[in-house]
């Protein structure tokens, strides 16, 4: 039976690489402002795990009304016992406002940690077994998976509270109403097509070259003409919400209408493609959309 997420998420949140490094007072100040502006879910990438849980703790302290989700942490080289203990400590200090997301990443990530990538589905299954066996386990209702393919989505539905898919309607139909479906949606607030697509390619274009992403995009109907370096215009337009706020709101609504519980918005900045910077003006603009989706029930 599918598990329901024990930490409610609103309809809209933010995913941000820039919120890593939350020991920086400027990052914590930004998290406080986002909390005050009504964002109730902040996502940060786990990457290889270095400092990720520390960042979560800083953000929980800075944003007292907000759920912080680690999305996602590569499983390679992680200690399930340590993660279980850290989650328990976060709950004791800040209440149950943390969601932990896990992913298999790629063979290079596994090799760098001195581990065998193996078959991704089996490797993730063993990792979830280890989480369950820890003295203080990470409960199924506090964890999600990053899932591209249908079989990983099935595993997420069976053994976690949900997942972050790259498509929505098909996955909702596949697993039914209960598991969390929380797609990531890249956003460029720029109405000029050339600038917007250039920012999108700078921000996410490299992922199109990764084998797992290419295979998933092919499943979704994209062809070799789309899977060129940086992606075709058709592919970029499908993956990224660009334009004005009304255009972004339309794309959010499309995901929610297709069965998503929550949409995590990832701002791509056309003016700083080569270095992280806090996109405060864009976040402030996106905060004005929150009342539009306030009537959408919080998940689970």
Confidence of residue 87 (pLDDT cuts 50, 70, 90): very high
What was the pLDDT predicted at 35? 98
Mean pLDDT of 102-106: 92
Q: 106-138, pLDDT tens digit by residue?
A: 899 999 999 999 999 999 999 999 999 999 999
Q: 15-70, pLDDT tens digit by residue?
A: 999 999 999 999 999 999 999 999 999 999 998 788 999 999 999 999 999 999 99
Confidence of residue 297 (pLDDT cuts 50, 70, 90): low
What is the distance between the terminal CA atoms of the chain, rounded to a whole angstrom?
15
Q: 186-206, pLDDT tens digit by residue?
A: 999 999 999 999 999 999 988
What average pLDDT does the chain have? 90
The three-state secondary structure class of 129 is helix
Mean pLDDT of 208-232: 90
What is the percentage of the chain residues whose pLDDT exceeds 70?
Answer: 92
- The answer, yes or no, to whether residue 299 has pLDDT greater than 70, is no
CA neighbours within 13 Å on the CB side: how many for 214?
14
Q: Which long-range contacts (CB under 8 A, 24 or more apart) does 293-298 make?
A: 293/10, 293/11, 293/12, 293/252, 293/253, 293/256, 294/10, 294/11, 296/10, 296/11, 296/256, 298/8, 298/9, 298/10, 298/11
8 Å CB contact between 11 and 263: yes
What was the pLDDT predicted at 300? 45
Pairwise CA distance, residues 183 & 131, whole Å: 24
**Where do the structural domains in the chain lie, given as residue ranges?**
12-175
Q: How much is the pTM?
A: 0.92
- DSSP secondary structure string, 153-193? HHHHHHHSSEEE-S-SHHHHHHH-SSSEE--EEEEE----H
Pairwise CA distance, residues 163 & 156, whole Å: 6
Higher pLDDT, 170 or 148: 148
8 Å CB contact between 42 and 66: yes
- The answer, yes or no, to whether residue 271 has pLDDT greater than 70, is no
- The answer, yes or no, to whether residue 207 has pLDDT greater than 70, is yes
Pairwise CA distance, residues 140 & 59, whole Å: 23
Query: How wide is the angle at C-alpha 171 spanned by C-alphas 9 and 44, nearest 5°?
Result: 40
| Distances from the Cα of 199 to the Cα of 4, 204, 278, 286, angstroms | 36, 9, 15, 18
- The answer, yes or no, to whether residue 236 has pLDDT greater than 80, is yes
Which range is least confidently modeled, 133-142, 269-278, 281-290? Answer: 269-278
What was the pLDDT predicted at 101? 94
What was the pLDDT predicted at 167? 67
- The answer, yes or no, to whether residue 238 has pLDDT greater than 90, is yes
Cα of 7 vs its chain's centroid, Å: 15
Pairwise CA distance, residues 270 & 103, whole Å: 28
Q: 249-270, pLDDT tens digit by residue?
A: 999 999 999 889 999 999 998 7
Pairing of strands 240-242, 263-267: unpaired
Specify the residue for token string 């100040």: 29
CATH top-level class of 12-175: alpha beta
What was the pLDDT predicted at 1? 46
- The answer, yes or no, to whether residue 296 has pLDDT greater than 80, is no
Residue 106 phi/psi, 5-degree rounding, is -150, 175
| Distances from the Cα of 140 to the Cα of 42, 48, 81, 94, 183, angstroms | 20, 21, 15, 19, 19
Element (H, E) at 145: strand 143-146
- The answer, yes or no, to whether residue 85 has pLDDT greater than 70, is yes
Pairwise CA distance, residues 280 & 19, whole Å: 11
Q: 150-179, pLDDT tens digit by residue?
A: 888 889 888 998 877 666 777 677 666 768
Mean pLDDT of 229-258: 95
């Amino acid at each position: 039976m599918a598990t329901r997420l024990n930490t409610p998420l609103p309809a809209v949140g933010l995913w941000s690489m820039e919120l890593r490094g939350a020991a920086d007072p400027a990052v914590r100040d930004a998290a406080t402002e986002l909390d005050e502006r009504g964002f109730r879910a902040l996502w940060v990438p786990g990457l290889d795990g270095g400092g990720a849980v520390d960042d979560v703790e800083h953000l929980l302290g800075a944003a007292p009304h907000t759920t912080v989700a680690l999305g996602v942490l590569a499983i390679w080289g992680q200690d399930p016992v340590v993660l279980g203990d850290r989650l328990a400590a976060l709950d004791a200090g800040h209440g149950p406002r943390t969601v932990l997301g896990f992913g298999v990443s790629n063979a290079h990530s596994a090799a760098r940690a001195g581990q065998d990538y193996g078959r991704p589905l089996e490797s993730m299954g063993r990792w979830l077994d280890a989480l369950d066996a820890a003295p203080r386990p990470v409960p199924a209702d506090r964890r999600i998976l990053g899932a591209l393919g249908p079989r990983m989505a099935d595993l997420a539905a069976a053994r976690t509270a949900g997942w972050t898919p790259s498509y929505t309607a098909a996955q909702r139909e596949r697993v039914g109403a209960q598991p969390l479906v929380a797609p990531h949606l890249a956003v460029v607030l720029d109405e000029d097509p050339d600038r917007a697509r250039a920012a999108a390619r700078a921000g996410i274009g490299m992922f199109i070259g990764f084998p797992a992403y290419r295979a998933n995009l092919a499943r979704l109907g994209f062809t070799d003409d789309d899977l060129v370096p940086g992606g075709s215009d058709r592919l970029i337009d499908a993956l990224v919400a660009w334009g004005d706020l009304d255009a972004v709101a339309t794309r959010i609504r499309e995901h929610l209408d297709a069965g998503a519980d929550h949409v995590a918005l990832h701002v791509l900045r056309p003016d700083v493609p080569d270095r992280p910077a806090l996109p405060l003006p864009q976040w402030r603009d996106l905060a004005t959309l929150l009342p539009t989706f306030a009537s959408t029930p919080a998940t689970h």
